[in-house]
């Protein structure tokens, strides 16, 4: 069983994000980039399916030349092959990314394609659907449990207030939701071996950008936490906050 | 977040991986293990599965084949969260595995290293009740009897030597007198379970409470002649070489602890308000934090640079003493300021500041006290010639 895992390179959520001088891009200086957390669920699931069913796991990312770091992570976690499709600028248009991944998918004909439910940088939520359309495959999004048989898959989806179980024939595309699995930590020997493995690089095929960013801005700084004391007033304030803001009591 | 200090992609990945492991697996248990003074077999097993126990050993022994910078980052990231677990890893690799790998013969390496990379621990018994800084005053003796050596004496403060998963310890003993009248010292590999060899775990430690520290007793303990490490009389040289390496891992513990205490203090100082303002905005506090940040940046760059020297096989004895001394003093300042910035809360066990404050103190004492490091450095710059 051959599996293709799509990996997006995103700023670590702990990074302080600044907008570039063109007001349209994120300033990469000082940002730490990581594998998109939802894609880690996808990769982990692929590795587990490989252990069970055999086959090969290929990880792909469409990104700038700097994206070798996330490819290295994929290798250390256990991907058999990684492909970096190099674009000149950081890609922001989902169609452009999907188009490039679809071309690779046509070459390697995977039985299953795994994406994350969203990429936590631009959050377009479009990859799974656009990819499915381009490849004419069924797609199931926001999957929190997955079983794969020889020619079909069964997936559990979180829906408002409940769960839904669906079936789809292979080949198929799914997007991973938190809870699908616990991604492994790469082991140290595997990290050291990953540096000797090859990253296949190819240039992105040019394709029109269907959506372009015209402007980005940052919301004025909001306090994320509040420290209260144990005075009577603050206790009353805590009760009010829990009741009115957090709505938990 | 600070500079990447010219780290390679794999070193950054290793750092992030160990950081996550330490935060997810170790952090939730650290306080309780410290309180109960309990060595965790479960965490040690998980660290072993991650490849932390054979950090720089080659693959043929089941090791992770880390370069020295990567090994130091491993220890640093553990110490950022918990000194006890960092101590288990640093002592095992630098003091346990190190001498066997660097000075052992092929037969000894094949016998012990795979197990030591795969979940068992090994101690390094140098210190005695009457021989700490003054290791030349070692009183444990080994006398040759046929094809065996007979050991008598005692060791104290030996890390990892008394757990259920300890395979044995390297033991320094007097094997004769040199021509100049000084003691001739040699190292022996002594397996736990050998008759006449007992280990007694020490309790009531102020720091590293979840790390194992043991006293070792030798009463007519017989070990086969092939258990000598290297040649007879090599002991002193082996010990100095081992400590040169070991100091870098203690330095890494200082750096990691300083970073942990700094992050904790900065976070708190930006949140805590007095007189209507965050305490970080009072210059006296802000400058403390600036000073720690400066110390950490300098310590990290110097330490990594010294490790690169070691990787290039250049001499690094003076640099390693500087690393150990400087990093442990930065850790001392960081932990001290951290408690101060937390005020009364800093003194309570509920907050990590208190544990950083206790754990930090060992770093100025173990593997050569700060005074001894200054002695090493002053000798090397020619003060006494
Ligand atoms: C938790 C823990 C773990 C340890 N793990 C190990 C281990 O795994 N293996 C091992 O072999 N040892 C280990 N040690 C022992 C440690 O290395 C020694 O405690 C240390 O070297 C100091 O020796 P000492 O305690 O005998 O102090 P002493 O040597 O008695 O020193 C007492 C004081 O005198 C000062 N002093 C001594 N000589 C001089 C001098 N010439 N000039 C100026 N000042 C001087 C010292 O700096 C110190 O302040 C461990 C200790 C602890 C607490």
pLDDT tens profile B168-178: 999 999 999 99
- ipTM of this predicted structure: 0.89
Can you tell me which atom of ligand 1 is nearest the CA of B126? 11
Judge if B249 and B366 occupy the same domain: yes
Judge if B60 and B172 occupy the same domain: no
B385 domain-assigned: no
A219 domain-assigned: no
Secondary structure of B335-358 in HEC code, one letter for each residue: HHHHHHHHHHHHHCCCCHHHHHHH
Asked whether the predicted pLDDT for residue B102 surpasses 60, the reply is: yes
A183 domain-assigned: yes
Measured between beta carbons, the chain A residues lying within 8 angstroms of B1 are: 14-15, 30, 32
Contact B366 CB / ligand 1 (< 6 Å)? yes
Q: What is the DSSP string of B43-71?
A: HHHHHHHTT-TTTTS-GGGT-----HHHH
Chain-chain contact of B20 with A185 (C-beta, under 8 angstroms) = yes
Q: So what's the pLDDT on residue B66?
A: 97
Q: So what's the pLDDT on residue A89?
A: 87
B65 catalytic residue (yes or no): no
- Of A219-228, B216-225, B282-291, B330-339, least confident by mean pLDDT is A219-228
Catalytic member of B148, B184, B367, B371 = B367
Residue at a domain's end among B217, B236, B255: B236
Measured between beta carbons, the chain A residues lying within 8 angstroms of B272 are: 227
Q: So what's the pLDDT on residue B353?
A: 97
Its domain, for residue B40, covers 9-121
Measured between beta carbons, the chain B residues lying within 8 angstroms of A194 are: 10, 13
Tens of pLDDT along B59-71?
Answer: 999 999 999 999 9
Q: So what's the pLDDT on residue A121?
A: 84
Judge if B179 and B90 occupy the same domain: no
Tens of pLDDT along B356-376?
Answer: 999 999 999 999 999 999 999
The residue-averaged pLDDT of B257-277 equals 97
A50, two tokens: 């490989």
Its domain, for residue A44, covers 2-214
- The CATH number linked to B83 is 1.10.540.10
B3 domain-assigned: no
Chain-chain contact of B49 with A187 (C-beta, under 8 angstroms) = yes
Judge if B288 and B335 occupy the same domain: yes
- The CATH number linked to A31 is 3.40.50.620
Residue at a domain's end among B182, B201, B236: B236
A145 domain-assigned: yes
Asked whether the predicted pLDDT for residue B79 surpasses 50, the reply is: yes
Asked whether the predicted pLDDT for residue B2 surpasses 50, the reply is: no
Judge if B92 and B194 occupy the same domain: no
Judge if B52 and B148 occupy the same domain: no
To the nearest whole Å, the CA of B78 is away from the closest chain A CA by 14
Judge if B74 and B133 occupy the same domain: no
Q: Is the peptide bond before B277 cis (omega within 30 degrees of 0)?
A: no
To the nearest whole Å, the CA of B49 is away from the closest chain A CA by 8
More confident residue, A161 or B325: B325
Q: How confident is the model at residue B99 (pLDDT cuts 50, 70, 90)?
A: very high
B182 domain-assigned: yes
pTM of the model as a whole = 0.91
Judge if B243 and B366 occupy the same domain: yes
Q: So what's the pLDDT on residue A247?
A: 75
Judge if B126 and B206 occupy the same domain: yes
Distance CA(B245)–CA(B307), nearest Å, equals 9
- Domain total for chain B? 3
Residue at a domain's end among B87, B121, B155: B121
- Domain total for chain A? 1
To the nearest whole Å, the CA of B130 is away from the closest chain A CA by 40
Judge if B83 and B113 occupy the same domain: yes
B1 domain-assigned: no
A235 domain-assigned: no
CA-nearest residue for atom 27, ligand 1, is: B132
Question: Which of A67, A186, A187, A191 to probe by mutation at the B interface, max B CB count within 10 Å?
Answer: A191
CA-nearest residue for atom 52, ligand 1, is: B157
Judge if B195 and B273 occupy the same domain: no
A31 domain-assigned: yes
Distance CA(B239)–CA(B173), nearest Å, equals 11
**How crowded is residue B45: how many other Cβ atoms within 10 Å of its Cβ?**
13
Mean pLDDT by 10 residues, chain A (249 residues): 96 85 85 93 97 96 95 97 94 92 96 94 87 96 94 93 94 95 96 94 90 85 73 87 80
- Cα(B134) to centroid(ligand 1), Å: 8
- The CATH number linked to B212 is 2.40.110.10
A209 domain-assigned: yes
Q: So what's the pLDDT on residue A31?
A: 87
Query: pLDDT above 90 covers what percent of chain B?
Result: 97
Distance CA(A202)–CA(A209), nearest Å, equals 19
Chain-chain contact of A186 with B17 (C-beta, under 8 angstroms) = yes
**Residues B212, B218, B223, B229: is their CA dihedral positive or negative?**
positive
- Of A205-209, B33-37, B266-270, B285-289, least confident by mean pLDDT is A205-209
Which DSSP category does A65 fall into?
Answer: G
Residues 6+ apart with CB under 8 A from B111: none
Residues 6+ apart with CB under 8 A from B132: none
A232 domain-assigned: no
Asked whether the predicted pLDDT for residue B1 surpasses 50, the reply is: no
More confident residue, B47 or B3: B47
A245 domain-assigned: no
B4 domain-assigned: no
């Amino acid at each position: 069983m051959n599996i293709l895992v799509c990996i997006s390179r995103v700023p670590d959520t702990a990074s302080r994000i600044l907008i570039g001088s063109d007001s349209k891009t994120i300033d990469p200086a000082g940002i730490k980039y990581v594998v998109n957390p939802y894609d880690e669920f996808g990769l982990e699931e692929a590795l587990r399916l490989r252990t069970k069913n055999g086959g090969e796991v290929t990880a792909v990312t469409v990104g700038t030349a700097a994206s070798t770091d996330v490819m290295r992570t994929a290798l250390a976690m256990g991907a058999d092959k990684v492909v970096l499709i190099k674009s000149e600028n950081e890609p922001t248009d989902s169609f452009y990314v999907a188009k490039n991944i679809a071309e690779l998918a046509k070459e390697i004909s995977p039985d299953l394609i795994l994406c994350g439910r969203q990429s936590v940088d631009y959050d377009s939520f479009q990859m799974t659907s656009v990819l499915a359309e381009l490849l004419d495959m069924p797609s199931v999004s926001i999957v929190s449990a997955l079983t794969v048989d020889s020619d079909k898959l069964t997936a559990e989806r979180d829906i408002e207030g409940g769960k839904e179980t669906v079936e789809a024939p292979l080949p198929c595309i799914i997007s991973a939701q938190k809870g699908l699995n616990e991604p492994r930590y790469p082991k140290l020997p595997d990290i050291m071996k990953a540096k000797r493995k090859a990253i296949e690089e190819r240039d992105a095929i040019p394709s029109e950008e269907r959506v372009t960013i015209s402007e980005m801005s940052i919301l004025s700084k909001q306090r994320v936490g509040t420290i209260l004391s144990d005075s009577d007033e603050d206790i009353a304030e805590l009760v009010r906050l829990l009741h009115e803001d957090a709505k938990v009591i | 977040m600070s500079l990447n200090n010219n780290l390679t992609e794999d070193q950054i990945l290793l750092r992030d991986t160990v950081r996550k492991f330490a935060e997810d697996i170790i952090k939730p248990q650290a306080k309780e293990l410290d309180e109960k003074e309990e060595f965790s077999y479960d965490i040690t097993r998980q660290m072993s599965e991650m490849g932390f126990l054979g950090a720089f050993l080659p693959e043929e022994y089941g090791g992770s084949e880390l370069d020295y910078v990567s090994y130091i980052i491993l220890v640093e990231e553990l110490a950022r969260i918990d000194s006890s677990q960092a101590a288990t890893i640093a002592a095992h690799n630098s003091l346990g595995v190190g001498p066997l790998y660097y000075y052992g013969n092929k037969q000894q390496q094949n016998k012990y290293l795979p197990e030591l990379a795969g979940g068992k621990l090994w101690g390094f018994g140098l210190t005695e009740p009457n021989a700490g800084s003054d290791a030349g005053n070692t009183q444990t003796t080994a006398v040759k009897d046929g094809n065996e050596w007979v050991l008598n004496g005692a060791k104290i403060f030996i890390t990892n030597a008394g757990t259920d998963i300890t395979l044995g310890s390297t033991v320094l003993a007097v094997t004769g007198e040199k021509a100049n009248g000084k003691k001739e010292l040699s190292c022996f590999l002594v397996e736990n379970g050998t008759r006449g060899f007992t280990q007694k775990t020490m309790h009531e430690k102020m720091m590293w409470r979840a790390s194992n520290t043991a006293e070792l007793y030798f009463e007519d303990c017989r070990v086969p002649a092939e258990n000598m490490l290297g040649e007879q009389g090599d002991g002193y040289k082996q010990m100095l070489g081992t400590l040169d390496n070991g100091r870098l891992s203690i330095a890494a513990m200082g750096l990691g602890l300083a970073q942990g205490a700094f992050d904790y203090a900065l976070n708190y100082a930006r949140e805590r308000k007095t007189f209507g303002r965050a305490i970080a905005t009072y210059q006296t506090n802000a400058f403390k934090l600036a000073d720690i940040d400066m110390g950490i940046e300098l310590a990290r760059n110097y330490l990594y640079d010294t490790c690169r020297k070691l990787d290039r096989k250049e001499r690094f004895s003076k640099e390693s003493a500087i690393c150990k001394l400087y990093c442990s003093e930065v850790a001392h300042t960081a932990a001290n300021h951290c408690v101060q910035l937390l005020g009364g809360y800093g003194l309570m066990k509920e907050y990590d500041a208190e544990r950083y404050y206790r754990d930090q103190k060992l770093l100025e004492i173990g593997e050569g006290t700060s005074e001894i490091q200054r002695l090493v450095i002053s000798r090397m710059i020619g003060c006494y010639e």
